[in-house]
Structure formats: structure tokens, C-alpha cells
Amino acid sequence: MPAHPTSRDLHTVEQVRAIDRAALQALGISAEELMRRAASAGLSSLRRHWPQLQRICVHCGPGNNGGDGFLLAVLAREAGLRVEVVALGARSHGDAARAREAWLEGGGQIMPWDAHADLPEAQLHVDALYGIGLNRAPEGAAARLIEQINHSGAPVLALDVPSGLNGDSGDCPGVAIRADVTVSFIAQKRGLHTGRAANHVGVLELAGLGVPDSVHAQTRADARLLAAAALPPRARAAHKGELGHVLVIGGDHGMAGAARLAGEAALRAGAGLVSVATRAEHVTTLNATRPELMVRAVDGVQALASLLERVSVLALGPGLGQASWGHALWLTALDADKPLVLDADGLNLLAREPRRFSAPTVLTPHPGEAARLLGLSTTEVGRDRFAAVREISRRHAAVVVLKGAGSLIAQPDGRLEVCPWGNPGMASGGMGDLLSGIIAALLAQGCSAWQAARMGVGLHARAGDLAAQQGERGLLASDLLAPLRALGNELSGDERGSTND
């Protein structure tokens, strides 16, 4: 993605439209000229990614996204490519109508699309059907065209937003284009970076089209892409007592692994001390396999209360369960009013017994847990992940991480950042336990809840990407521990060595 002062800013569709209008005025150009710039940027991307191809098919809708497509077809023809154009509808609207005429005036032909047509032969398909102009499921002939493009076997370049994908939310209410490359125009659309967008966007590029920074400055971004960060180097005289004491509370019968993963992640992320409060049956195993963890048998609230007095941060929920043991520890831990990371069954208990937090708190729900916290279905959460994470944060007065592809981090004041890293290999058991431990360790080392959540999500996802260099399928949560340590010390991949254990 281009390095640009505004490239981390993410906008709603309405904000992008406002920037578009302001750009025309600031640049003193027509909408047709801005459309021509978009077409040129699209063709440039096409030639860069597929320099050898000779025959393309451009699919144009009736609105401005279709206009971008018609002008790209004009420019591609002038560049010597063989171009076929397929159009939805017999007419185009507004500025797109003039772009359509430009294609026809140069001798181009248009194949009208209907539900019974077949795709022309092409080495690449260009999606210029709807862009940001559609917030419902494509229907009828449009839906069939998208399906045929997806099943054509040829690569796909999407202009601005893959058609059928909601540029605001990242949701797909119906069929949507699966692009290999998407060229987004003027400003980043927030929905291209989270949720189901990961299945449809492909390589994402931003083409600014010459819009000056002064225009962008008139519209405050709705969200931002997360930047890579790590803690500064430690003072030479540092000692463990200055680096925080994390207490992981969890590991009900049969779930010792969750507590261990959270505890070891806290150690690898730099906490000075890490204790684990768990079932007595797990103590021997955890002490033997990770002796740096201080494991305590906790059979009831009195045993936990004595531990709570000595620690600085809690990681509550990994393997906790929702039975009487877990519930009693949950209540006792929350009443201690200490800085807290709440995950897994800790969140399921919170859904049953809601409360607002006064101490620095980070909640880390996946979409199912978020749905329970909001009293919605998982599908409803997916329709607008941005609204969901902000509402959970507001209700509980906590920083909230909504996990998944393009994890979202929200503050109660509405600030929101989106994680651009991570991979499908991280869809495996134990990854959330690691994240809880990482964020708890950062809290223990003096970060605010907002800082700890943002840095922790970034370190976790980036460690996952490094670990996945050996393949995504079969990736284990514990595979992230060595790269996590390296990233926490700002080491490059070449400096990581082989510290897996």
C-alpha cells in the first residue's frame, strides 16, 4: 500500500463521498476528469500485476463505478489491449453516461448482460459493476454475472470496492466479487479491512488520484489502520518487580492448556512475574512444563483472595468455565477492581451479569461472544462490526477487541483502529488465550488499556504472520511464542533465531 500521510485513515462511504465532492472543488476539475484519473489508476494496476495479458473483459454497472470501467476500457484499447465490455442495463447515469459514450464513439461495442448470457473469453475480468454504490445483495442478472466472473478461472481486478461487498461494514449480504486485486480510489473504505472482506479484496491498493492532503483534513477519519509498535528497550538496571505481576485465572477441569498459553504469552511479552490460579489437578503438569510460571491451586474464593493482593494485572477467562468454580472466581476477581483482560468464559459470564468497569479493562470477544454481550446473533454482529465493537465498549466502559479477520480495537470515546495483519492459520484453538496474556503483560508494564490492546493485537497478529511463513494450515498457538518475543524486542526475522520450545 502506498506510503502516504492519509493511507492509515479509514472512512465510511458517506465520508468518502464528501471527500470526493470537496476534491472536485479544490482541484477545479470535472467529475469526468476525476473518473478518468480513476480509470488510469486502474489500468496502471492492471499492467503492473498482469503485464503479459492481451485480452480483458470490463464489466460495467449503470453508475459511476461503471463509468470508471468504460473509461478504463477506452484507455486499455488505446494501449493496444483487446477489450470486451459487458454492461448491466441499457443506460448509464450521470457522468457515467458520458464515459459510456466515449467508449462507443471510439468504435467500441457493448454486450448487454441478461440472466441467460455467457461471459466472453478473457484473460482478466475487471469489476466495475457497483463499487460503493450498493448496500444490498445483488439480484437477478447481476448476481448471475458476479457468480460467472467468480467461476471463470481468470483473475479479477476490482475498481474501488468488489461489487457485492459492503464498503462500510465488510459484510456481504449476498454474492460478491472475489477479486485478486482491488484498487481503492481517493480514500480507504473501512469495510475493505475487516470481516468477510478478507475473502473478496485480494491485494489492496490505494490510488489517491491527486487529491491534496488539505481536502482529506476536512473530514475526520472514522477509524485508522493499526501501526506496528513495541515497547522501548528496558533500562539496564530493570528488575522483575518493576515489570508487573500478571495473574492468569482459569483452567477448569480439562482446560489447563488455555491457562498455560495465556501465562506463557504474558512471560514472552515481558511481564516480570506471572502466576496462574487454576485447579489443583493442573499444578504439577504446569510447573513441570513451564517452571517460570508460578502455579497455584485455587479451589475457592479464599485462596484466590490471597493471590489477588500480590498481583498487578488479571487475565481472567482462559479455560475458566461457567460452572460454580469459575463463576465464584470471576466474581471475586472482578470485585478486586484491578487492571483486567477479560476473555472466553469471562465474557460469557459478563453477558449473563453485565457491569461497567472502573479499572483499566480490555475485553477480547470473538464474534460469538460479542453477539452474547449484545443480545444479537453472530450474523447481526457481522453486518456491522464497527457498530458492534463500539457499543460493547460504550456499555462496559472498557477497551474492546473484536477478534476475527481485521480485528477491531475500540475505545469508549469512539476511537477505533483496525488490525491489518493476521492470517487464516490463526483460526485455531489457543490463539485467543495468547492474546489475553500478551495484553495483560503490556498492562503490567505500564501501558494504558488502549495502548496495551492496540500493541497487543499488533504483536499477536504479526507474530502469527511470521509463524505462518512455514505454512498456514497446521499453525499452533505455541508457534507464535518465539516470533512474539522477537517482535517485542523489535528484532527482524533474520535475528529471531530458533528459540521454539
The whole-number average pLDDT for the span 233-242 is: 90
Q: How confident is the model at residue 89 (pLDDT cuts 50, 70, 90)?
A: confident
Average pLDDT, the chain: 94
User: Percent of the chain at pLDDT above 70?
Assistant: 97
SS3 content of the chain, % helix, strand, coil (to 5): 45, 15, 40
**What is the structure's pLDDT at 173?**
92
* Contact indicator for 283, 295 with CB cutoff of 8 Å: yes
Check pLDDT > 90 for residue 495. no
Check pLDDT > 80 for residue 353. yes
H or E segment to which residue 216 belongs: helix 213-216
Check pLDDT > 50 for residue 202. yes
Buried b (16+ CB within 10 A) or exposed e, 143-170: bbbbebbbebebbbbbbbbbbbbbbbbb
Check pLDDT > 90 for residue 491. no
**What is the structure's pLDDT at 7?**
78
Question: Residues 246-292: pLDDT tens digits?
Answer: 999 999 999 999 999 999 999 999 999 999 999 999 999 999 999 99
384's grid cell:
456491522
Length of the chain: 501
Question: Residues 287-334: pLDDT tens digits?
Answer: 999 999 999 999 999 999 999 999 999 999 999 999 999 999 999 999
3-state secondary structure of 295: strand
H or E segment to which residue 57 belongs: strand 55-60
The whole-number average pLDDT for the span 446-469 is: 98
Question: Which region among 292-306, 358-372, 480-494 has the lowest average model confidence (pLDDT)?
Answer: 480-494
378's grid cell:
453472530
For the chain, which domains are there? Answer: 9-225 (3.40.50.10260), 240-495 (3.40.1190.20)
Residue 413, burial from CB neighbour count under 10 angstroms (0-12, 13-18, 19+)? exposed
**What is the structure's pLDDT at 164?**
97
Q: How confident is the model at residue 4 (pLDDT cuts 50, 70, 90)?
A: very low
Q: How confident is the model at residue 490 (pLDDT cuts 50, 70, 90)?
A: confident
Check pLDDT > 50 for residue 5. no
Question: Residues 19-52: pLDDT tens digits?
Answer: 999 999 999 999 999 999 999 999 999 999 999 9
DSSP string, 73-99: HHHHHHTT-EEEEEESSS---THHHHH
The whole-number average pLDDT for the span 167-179 is: 96
* Contact indicator for 159, 64 with CB cutoff of 8 Å: no
Between 391 and 500, where is the model more confident?
391
Angle at the Cα of 206 from the Cα atoms of 204 and 207, rounded to 5 degrees: 140
Q: How confident is the model at residue 500 (pLDDT cuts 50, 70, 90)?
A: very low
Instruction: Give the phi and the psi of residue 478 in degrees, each rounded to 5.
Output: -70, -20
Query: In angstroms, rounded to a whole number, what is the distance separating the alpha carbons of residues 386 and 414?
Result: 10
* Contact indicator for 213, 34 with CB cutoff of 8 Å: no
Check pLDDT > 90 for residue 436. yes
The whole-number average pLDDT for the span 373-391 is: 97
Cell numbers 459510456: residue: 100
**What is the structure's pLDDT at 62?**
94
* Spatial CB neighbours of 237, under 8 Å, sequence gap ≥ 6: none
**What is the structure's pLDDT at 409?**
98
489: nearest Cα among 231, 291, 288: 231
Supply the pTM of this predicted model.
0.93
Check pLDDT > 90 for residue 368. yes
The whole-number average pLDDT for the span 86-90 is: 92
Check pLDDT > 60 for residue 90. yes
| Partner residues linked to 223 by β-bridges | 10
| Partner residues linked to 342 by β-bridges | 316, 363
**What is the structure's pLDDT at 485?**
96
Check pLDDT > 60 for residue 371. yes
